[in-house]
Chain A
Amino acid sequence: MNDAAMIWNLFAGVLIGLAYLSAFAFVAGLTLRLFLYFKTPVPLKIVQTPGPKNAPGVLARMAGDALIFPNLFQADKALWLGAWLFHACLLLIFVRHSRYFLYPVPELVIDWQAISIYAGFLFPIPALYLLWRRMASARVLFVSGLPDFGVLILLTAIAATGMLVNYYARAYLVDVKAFILGLLTLTPVAPPQHPVFIAHFILVCLLLIYFPFSKLLHAGGIFFSPTRNQIDNVLYPRYVNPWNEEVRIDQNR
């Protein structure tokens, strides 16, 4: 074995390690966080009025929040369009990627193939708009911190390297699939030897690690937002706060 091959093997090992680490951080971090939300009590029923009066209504409200962002639409039309395109592209790109880790590839993914590819082209536009908006609006700039820019840049970089893989590393796609399936089946094989793919992969790993510790938690957290996921029936039936009894008050008479 020559030096180059040894270094490559070492690197492949590190990359595989990183893949498992990031998958673990993502799954464990997200699960723990969402479980924390789940088990934290909601002492008072505070619902955004006018709210749904029954469970199907709540489901519709939550589905609406996740899919079409109605509150944002009321707040700011341009931002709504930008944010919606941004998330729609992400969703399509994600669906498209499932063909790398699902076998056999589901019908749906194949059907969406054509649109999904455009999503990749389109994605930089809303992403750059959001980035531009963060800097162009004094108010948004005021509340923006480093990670707010960082995440946008990271996602844009992932998308850009992804598109490059599509063009310059197409021939390696069989290897890509083998690599990913290897990881999933816990029988890892060496990654495809293409720098653009490797860059793409590392960036995704970083995103996964950062995800559960960041504002990206809104992806799961939105379903735990008490103003949006409860039935608007505070008056009846009686709503019980699990820790109400612990709060002592003297009678003061």
Chain B
Amino acid sequence: MTKIANFPPATLEWKKTNRGLHIPVPEMDEHASAPLTCYPCKAKDMQAIALPTARVPQWETRAVEKLQELLHKYRGLQVYLDICAQCGACADKCQFYLGTGDPNNMPVARANLLRKVYRYYFKRMERFAGAEAEPFNEEVLREWYTYFYQCSECRRCSVFCPYGIDTAEITMAAREIMAAIGVATKYVTEVVAKVYERGNNLGIPGPAWIDNCQFLEEELKAETGKDIRMPVDEVGADVLLVMPSADNFANTDTMMAYGKLFYALGVSWTTSTYANEGGNFGLFLNYQNMKKVNRRILDAARELKVKRVIWGECGHAWRAAIYTNTLNGPMDFLDPPHPVHICQFTADLIQRGAFKIDKTANDDVLVTYHDPCNVARAGSLLEEPRAMIRATCNKFVEMPANTIREKTFCCGAGGGLLTDELMPIRMAGGKPRAEACRATGATYLATPCAICKAQLPEVMKHWNVGVKVGGVHDLLSKAMIL
């Protein structure tokens, strides 16, 4: 198990009170997480995603130009950099500060890493008044590369800021600036490059995807005795389902649940080997790649002549999906409403009585629900997954109120952090979620996000919380009578 050398939380006491979870705030420990950085990008991946393959000449100047460009393009960035009162209300709200105690992981301090450069070049008066200002240089770049990749862009801080300052947008801007001068992480760039090459984040080739689908069909046959199909590249299907590719490979219970769902409804559906990924890592890199990854889904939808696109159980897929209309719209060649998340689709059908459900099938577990930051806080799906769980389980318990819904803690690996070299950061950042889960005594943690499903089992194991992690549709699948 990963050793977390200097991180403080182990000794702090977390307990449930009637006002929610008591969240102990660690003492500041400067530079505690400074050594933990992602592996740098490779030239071949950068080439594939139209970014500089090496640090560009005059990168300092180039970075400042890029900052200026972004300031003219994003009102949020401009306003947030200007108006932060440095009040510190957000300081103890980030799971990465709570987990590491490193002051640069306080949202306001993280934002200040960019703000001090902004002040240096664009806020002469503040500089004159003695505010911290620094030119963009190697040292600053190192801080940026470290701490803007210890932020999962989860937006928890924004919920507690009196002006709604969204540090995630500041992180995004910093990453976009770094990308423009040829600085990015191996994990994020590799994933985007794989999407362009193979259609999905995991790099599953088309034939393997088809194989996996056939295998799952056989599994379903063995389980239910019915011919439940897992269609691939079927032109003219009603629905194109874009799920996280991990569902085809790791979270197969969720994938089989989709199959059962459409079988029960009698709706024809398909996946696409061109766009068999809902997830959009472009979101963690720059606008151009986000747009391009997103574009593939609409291209596949046009090619397969489907009537609707439904996004599967994935967090950042949904966060990018809600911008589809802006990025690559209009989507009017599809039936409204669009875009649609599978939880919206299913919750609506359950409410209309489309399925026969035996809730007692889930009586062996006490279920709790983790709001993925991207589904809940960024994607506004607070009720739908809960409605699904209530309709399929008798035993459902919420985690403490200050850790769910729009105040949810990130699993600790969103925003492109789900990579092995960041393991200590991931475990530290996952601590609040683990403690909130422990407080419920639940045995099944449902969550509609592939990143969470990959990260949380490790977190729970690390912090000794005995809970199984799985999808929301998995519960429906178990309770559905075909």
The residues of A with any CB-CB pair to B shorter than 8 Å are 33, 36-37, 40-46, 48-51, 65, 69, 71-72, 74-76, 79, 83, 137-140, 142-148, 150, 210, 213-215, 217-218, 221-222, 224-228, 232, 234-236, 238-241, 243-244, 247-253
Q: How far is the CB of B410 from chain A (nearest CB, A)?
A: 15
Is B158 at the interface (CB under 8 A from chain A)? yes
Complex interface: chain A residues within 8 A of B165 (CB): 225, 227
Q: Which residues of chain B are near A252, meaning CB under 8 Å?
A: 196, 292
Q: How far is the CA of A247 from the CA of B82 in the complex (A)?
A: 26
Q: Is B83 in contact with A150, judged by CB distance below 8 angstroms?
A: no
A75-B160, A218-B85 given; A213·B79 CB < 8 A: no
Enumerate chain A residues within 8 angstroms of B84, measured Cβ to Cβ: 215, 218
Pick from B129, B327, B377: contact of A146, CB below 8 A: B129
Q: Contact string, B58-93, partner A, CB cutoff 8 A, digits 1/0?
A: 000000000000011111101110111111111111
Instruction: State whether B380 touches A247 (Cβ < 8 A).
Output: no
Bound-state Cα–Cα, A232 to B377, Å: 12
Residues of A within 8 A of B336 (CB): 236
Contact of A221 among B79, B86, B161 (CB under 8 A): B79
Residues on the B chain within 8 Å of A210, using CB = 125, 129
Q: If A37-B75, A40-B75, A243-B73 touch, does A218 touch B327 (CB 8 Å cutoff)?
A: no
Whether A83 and B74, one on each chain, are in contact in the complex, defined by CB atoms closer than 8 angstroms, is no
Tell me the complex Cα distance, A46–B45, Å.
Answer: 29
- Could you tell me if B160 and A74 are in contact, using CB atoms closer than 8 angstroms? yes
Contact of A143 (CB < 8 Å), options: B73, B109, B129, B163: B109
Contacts of A76 in B (CB 8 A): 89
In the complex, are the beta carbons of A221 and B291 less than 8 A apart? Answer: no
**Contact at B288–A50, with CB atoms within 8 Å?**
no
On chain A, the residues within 8 Å of B162 by CB distance are: 65, 69, 71-72, 75, 83, 222
Interface contact B108-A143, CB-CB below 8 Å: yes
CB distance from B194 to the nearest CB of A (A): 13
Chain A nearest CB, measured from B246 CB (Å) = 23
User: Is the Cβ of B163 less than 8 Å from the Cβ of A221?
Assistant: yes
Most A Cβ at <10 Å: residue of B84, B125, B196: B125
B450: A residues at CB distance < 8 A: none
Question: Counting CB contacts under 8 A, is B205 at the interface?
Answer: no
B125 touches A213 (CB 8 A): yes
Contacts of A51 in B (CB 8 A): 380
Count of B interface residues, CB-CB < 8 Å:
74
Question: In the assembly, what is the distance between CA of A215 and CA of B87, in Å?
Answer: 11
Q: Report whether B83 and A221 are in contact in the complex, using a CB–CB cutoff of 8 Å.
A: yes
Q: Which of A45, A74, A143, A250 lies in contact with B112, CB distance below 8 A?
A: A143
Q: Quick one: closest A residue to B91, CB to CB?
A: A139
Pairwise interchain contact B166-A46, C-beta atoms closer than 8 A: yes
5 cross-chain pairs, A with B, having the tightest CB-CB distances, nearest first: A146-B130, A213-B125, A227-B164, A75-B160, A221-B83
Most A CB contacts (10 A, CB to CB) among B85, B86, B130, B162 go to B162
Residues of the B chain whose Cβ atoms lie less than 8 Å from the Cβ of A240 = 326
B27 within 8 A of A: yes
Chain A residues in 8 Å Cβ range of B86:
140, 143-145, 148, 215
| B458 in contact (CB, < 8 A) | no
Q: Name 7 A/B residue pairs within 8 A (Cβ), A-sorted.
A: A49-B379, A72-B161, A75-B162, A76-B89, A142-B103, A143-B106, A226-B79
**Interface code B105-147, partner A: CB below 8 Å = 1, 0 otherwise?**
0101100100000000001011001111000000000000000
Residues of chain B within 8 A (CB-CB) of A234 are 322-323, 380
B334 at the interface (CB under 8 A from A): no
In the bound complex, CA of A49 to CA of B328 (Å): 24
Do A227 and B326 contact each other (CB < 8 Å), given the known contacts A150-B130, A221-B83?
no
Residue contact B75 to A41, C-beta cutoff 8 Å: yes
CB of B78 within 8 A of CB of A37, answer yes
Q: Which residue of A lies closest to B133 (CB)?
A: A145
CB distance from A31 to the nearest CB of B (A): 15
Whether A45 and B85, one on each chain, are in contact in the complex, defined by CB atoms closer than 8 angstroms, is no
Cβ contact of A147, chosen from B92, B130, B326, cutoff 8 A: B130
Contact B78 A40 (CB under 8 A): yes
Tell whether, in the assembled complex, residue A139 and residue B28 are in contact, meaning their CB atoms are under 8 Å apart: yes
Question: Given the complex of chains A and B, what is the CA–CA distance between A139 and B162 in angstroms?
Answer: 18
Contact A137 B88 (CB under 8 A): yes
Complex interface: chain B residues within 8 A of A232 (CB) = 380
Partner of B82, one of A41, A146, A215, A249: A215
Say yes or no: A222 contacts B83, CB within 8 Å: yes
Contact B330 A238 (CB under 8 A): yes
- B21 in the interface (beta carbon within 8 A): no
Q: A140-B91, A249-B288 are in contact. Are A40 and B74 (CB under 8 A)?
A: yes
CB neighbours of A213 from chain B (8 A): 123, 125-126, 129
A71 CA to B165 CA, complexed, in Å: 11
A208 → B minimal CB distance (Å): 13
In the bound complex, what is the Cα–Cα distance between A157 and B264 (angstroms)?
Answer: 73
Q: Any chain A CB within 8 A of the CB of B159?
A: yes
**Cα A161 to Cα B76 with chains together (Å):** 38
A210-B381 Cα distance, complex, nearest whole Å? 43
Contact A225 B79 (CB under 8 A): yes
With the chains together, A138 CA to B30 CA distance in Å? 11
Q: Are A43 and B164 in contact (CB under 8 A)?
A: no
Question: What residues on B are CB-neighbors of A36 within 8 Å?
Answer: 78
For B294, the closest partner residue in chain A by CB is A249
A142 touches B106 (CB 8 A): yes
A194→B325 CA distance, assembly (Å): 64
Please name the residue on chain A nearest to B165 by beta carbon. A225
Contact B93 A75 (CB under 8 A): yes
Residue B382 lies at the interface, judged by CB distance under 8 Å to chain A? yes
Whether B163 pairs with A218 at a CB distance below 8 angstroms is yes
